[in-house]
Amino acid sequence: MQKKSEEAREQSTAQIFDCNFKFIMTEASPPAVVHLINGLFKKNYPPNTVVKIEPNESIRKQPKSGKLGKIVSDIVVTLFCENKKDTYLIEAQIDDDMEMSLRVFNYSISVALKDKYISNSGSYMRIEMPAPAIIYWETSKTEDFLTIEVVFPGKRSVLYKVPAFKVLEHKISELEHMALLLPFYLLKIRKELKKSGEDSRKRKALAKRLAGYVDEICEVFHRSRENFYISEKDALMLQERMSVMHTELYGKYKELTEENMTLKQMYNSSILKIWDKAEAKVARAEAKAEAKAEARVAKAKAEGTSQVAKAMKTAGETVSKIMNYTGLSRREIAAL
> Which sequence spans correspond to the domains of the chain?
1-169, 280-334
Higher pLDDT, 277 or 255: 255
Beta bridge partners of 59: 70
How far apart (Å, rounded) are the C-alpha atoms in residues 241 and 266? 12
Tell me the residue type at 183.
Answer: P
How far apart (Å, rounded) are the C-alpha atoms in residues 76 and 131? 10
Query: CA nearest 127: which of 137, 141, 116?
Result: 116
Contacts of 274 (CB under 8 A, 6+ apart): 232, 236
pTM of the predicted model, to two decimals? 0.72
Instruction: Work out the pLDDT band at 2, boundaries 50, 70, 90.
Output: very low
Q: Under a CB-based contact definition with an 8 Å cutoff, are residues 112 and 125 in contact? A: no
pLDDT of 272: 44
pLDDT of 118: 93
Instruction: Work out the pLDDT band at 295, boundaries 50, 70, 90.
Output: low
Residue range 214-273, pLDDT digits in tens: 888 888 988 998 899 999 889 889 988 888 888 888 888 877 776 555 555 554 555 445
Q: What is the mean pLDDT of residues 288-296?
A: 61
pLDDT of 68: 46
Neighbours of 222 (CB within 10 A): 12
pLDDT of 88: 96
Higher pLDDT, 332 or 238: 238
